[in-house]
């Protein structure tokens, strides 16, 4: 367990120090968000180095662990020395003064603590019952991790197994395999730790983005953790919550609740670089990350045009490159397999005829609506429509820039998933019933964030508000 924790902590600590040393931590605009982003970037980068080690034929044994540890210790040491030699930076003048912590905030914190304790207990109970994770965790993600660890150069035989979706990206299996290499054994603790940590990072992002001194941040945290169906996904050891984190992390870094940040070139570039990295890692986590990519690209383009910073979008592309180039290499060279849910289409005209077929919409729409309305589990059914309405209200409120961005991206993601259901050659009912609950778990955090963003904006626009 100790060795797993060392392998887990090394890249995160190194990235945390590096973000501070190269003045990128300011892009997070919150200590909690900075921690979550360090986690995401650390896990993402270490997954990429592991993936390329495997692609280049280096077995995930002792030599790999030594080189990997050296890499992260070296990066951390370089960042540490730079931090020590650099003059301490003055606090950003653009930050608003912290509001006084109200009685409501203390009540919200207490309720959140209660919910968090129950959520952790439920997570432990799920781990005790399903140490290898839910069905897809062992049939797809952890199985691929075993191929990467045990197979050496022969790991590609995993691509012959149809039921484990050979074209799925490898961020999660590579990370699990890396932790197993550190542990020296295939402990179930590694994927469980990873699964739990992605859930915790989402929570930290939400609370940090909304402001730890505000009651609504802790309310949002409590609401986020309340639905049983979300918690089950957190400990499932599958890739939906990790992708949900990369979506959340990107949107939190790109949030627009403080316009001066976007007017400062250094801060804008830092935000774009980090957002690009997180989007790239999202694409290397699940195919849905490739749906997120063009959608968030639109958000970035809009933001850049609005603030006259179109040239700075290159920083987004620089951040995007490591993840996307790996995805392209994998999808074009290593595993050129079209996902079964969009395979066997007859090109543009065939897809257009499916999109225009009212009979398919008549099947998909009621199915999706029913799943969406019932999502949540005991005492939580109906939370998604309520959250959508609240997020829409926040987006339409004066000063709801961040909520508008987050809501628009979430809406377009849902529209993208809807389109896939419309054009799929698979049995629609089967596909919706086996996937839409998971897809909602990816987007539940962003809906919660959007729903609670409104007040933050209004308070910042109105300095007199308590």
Partner 1 sequence: MVLLAWSVTAAWAGLQGARRLPVDPMAQLDAEFRPFAGLLPATGTVGYLEQFDNAGTDDAQRMHYAAQYSLAPLVIERRTGAEFVIVARGTERPGGDERLNGYRQIAYLPGEHRLFRRTP
Segment contacting partner 1 by CB under 8 A, of 220-228, 240-248, 273-281, 307-315: 220-228
The smaller minimum CB distance to partner 1, of residues 258 and 438, is found at 438
Rank residues 142 and 195 by Cβ distance to partner 1 and give the closer one. Answer: 142
Select from 58-66, 108-116, 197-205, 313-321 the region that touches partner 1 (CB under 8 A).
108-116
Stretch that binds partner 1, among 48-56, 68-76, 115-123, 322-330 (CB under 8 A): 115-123
DSSP string, 251-312: HHHT--S-HHHHHSHHHHHHHHHHHHHHHHHHHTT-THHHHHHHHHHHHHHHHHHHTT-GGG
* Interface with partner 1 in residues 169-198 (CB under 8 A): 188
Task: Work out whether 231 is an interface residue with partner 1 (CB under 8 A).
Answer: yes
Nearer to partner 1, 124 or 259 (CB): 124
User: If you count them, how many residues does the chain have?
Assistant: 466
Helices (H), ranges, 130-214 = 135-136, 142-151, 171-183, 189-210
Q: Which of 2, 56, 103, 160 binds partner 1 (CB under 8 A)?
A: 160
d(CA 196, CA 191): 9
Among 57, 154, 349, 466, binds partner 1 (CB under 8 A): 154
Q: Which one, of 202, 194, 155, lies nearest residue 35 by Cα?
A: 202
The residue within the footprint of partner 1, chosen from 193, 222, 277, 299 (CB under 8 A), is 222
Secondary structure (3-state) at 87: coil
Q: Per CB under 8 A, does 146 bind partner 1?
A: yes
Backbone angles phi, psi at 24, to 5 degrees: -95, -15
Over the Cα atoms of the chain, what is R_g?
22
392, burial (CB in 10 Å: exposed 0-12, middle 13-18, buried 19+): middle
The region of 18-26, 76-84, 135-143, 400-408 touching partner 1 under the rule CB under 8 A is 135-143
Binding to partner 1 (CB under 8 A): which residues in 88-107? Answer: 107
122, 412, 428, 458: which one binds partner 1 (CB under 8 A): 122
Q: Please check whether residue 296 is in contact with residue 410, taking contact to mean a CB–CB distance below 8 angstroms.
A: no
Q: Which residues are within 8 A (CB) of 390 and not within 5 positions of it... i.e. 6 or more apart?
A: 450, 451, 452
Q: Which residue has the tokens 């995993």?
A: 158
Binding segment (CB under 8 A) for partner 1, from list 28-36, 193-201, 221-229, 430-438: 221-229
**Alpha carbon of 229 to those of 51, 235, 297, 407: distances in Å?**
31, 10, 30, 21
Among 40, 76, 282, 376, binds partner 1 (CB under 8 A): 376
Measure the CA–CA gap between 186 and 177, rounded to whole angstroms.
8
Q: Does 158 bind partner 1 (CB under 8 A)?
A: yes
Site string for partner 1, 49-88 (x = CB under 8 A): ----------------------------------------
For tokens 């074209």, the residue is 167
Neighbours of 285 (CB within 10 A): 31
Of the candidate residues 3, 82, 150, 360, the single one contacting partner 1 (CB under 8 A): 150
125 binds partner 1 (CB under 8 A): yes
Among positions 219, 391, 406, 454, the unique one binding partner 1 when judged by CB under 8 A: 219
Q: How far is the CB of 111 from partner 1 (least distance, A)?
A: 4
Number of chain residues interacting with partner 1 (CB under 8 A): 50
Give every CB contact of residue 155 below 8 A, 6+ residues apart in sequence: 54, 147, 148
Quote the DSSP letter at residue 466: -
Query: Which CB sits closer to partner 1, 122 or 351?
Result: 122
Residues that bind partner 1 (CB under 8 A): 107-108, 111-112, 114-115, 118-119, 121-123, 125-126, 128-132, 135, 138-139, 142-143, 146-147, 150-151, 154-155, 157-158, 160-161, 163-164, 188, 219, 222-223, 225-228, 231-232, 376-380
């Amino acid at each position: 367990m100790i060795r797993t924790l060392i392998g887990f902590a090394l890249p995160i600590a190194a990235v945390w120090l590096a973000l501070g040393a190269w003045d990128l931590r300011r892009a997070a605009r919150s200590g909690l968000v900075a921690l979550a982003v360090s986690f995401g970037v650390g896990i993402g980068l270490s997954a990429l180095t592991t993936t390329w080690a495997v692609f280049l034929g280096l077995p995930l044994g002792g030599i790999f662990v030594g080189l990997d540890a050296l890499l992260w210790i070296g990066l951390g040491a370089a960042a540490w020395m730079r931090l020590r030699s650099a003059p301490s930076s003055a606090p950003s003048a653009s930050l608003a003064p912290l509001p006084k912590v109200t009685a409501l905030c203390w009540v919200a914190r207490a309720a959140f603590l209660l919910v968090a304790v129950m959520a952790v207990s439920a997570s432990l109970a799920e781990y005790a019952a399903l140490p290898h994770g839910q069905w897809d965790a062992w049939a797809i993600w952890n199985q691929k991790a075993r191929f990467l660890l045990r197979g050496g150069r022969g790991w590609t035989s995993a691509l012959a197994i149809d039921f484990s979706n050979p074209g799925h990206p490898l961020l999660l299996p590579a990370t699990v395999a890396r932790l197993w290499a550190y542990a020296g054994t295939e402990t179930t603790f590694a994927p469980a730790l990873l699964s739990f940590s992605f859930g915790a990072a989402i929570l930290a992002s939400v609370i940090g983005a909304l402001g730890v001194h505000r009651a609504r941040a802790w309310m949002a945290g409590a609401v986020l953790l309340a639905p049983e169906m979300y918690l089950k996904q957190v400990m499932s050891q599958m890739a939906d919550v990790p992708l949900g984190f990369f979506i959340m992390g990107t949107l939190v870094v790109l949030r627009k609740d403080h316009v001066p940040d976007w007017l400062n070139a250094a801060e804008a570039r830092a935000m774009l670089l980090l957002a690009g990295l997180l989007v790239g890692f999202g694409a290397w986590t699940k195919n849905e990350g490739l749906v997120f990519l063009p959608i968030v690209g639109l958000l970035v383009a809009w933001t850049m045009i609005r603030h006259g910073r179109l040239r700075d979008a290159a920083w987004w592309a620089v951040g995007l490159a490591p993840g996307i180039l790996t995805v392209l290499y994998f999808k074009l060279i290593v595993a050129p397999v079209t996902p079964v849910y969009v395979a066997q289409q007859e090109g543009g005209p065939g897809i257009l005829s499916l999109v225009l077929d009212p009979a398919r919409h008549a099947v998909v729409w009621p199915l999706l609506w029913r799943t969406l309305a019932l999502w949540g589990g005991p005492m939580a059914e109906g939370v998604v429509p309520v959250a959508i309405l609240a997020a829409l209200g926040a987006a339409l409120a004066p000063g709801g820039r961040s909520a508008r961005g987050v809501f628009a991206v979430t809406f377009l993601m849902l529209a993208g998933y809807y389109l896939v259901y419309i054009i799929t050659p698979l049995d629609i009912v089967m596909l919706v019933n086996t996937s839409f609950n998971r897809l909602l778990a990816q987007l539940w955090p962003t809906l919660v964030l959007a729903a609670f963003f409104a007040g933050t904006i209004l308070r910042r626009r109105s300095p007199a508000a308590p």
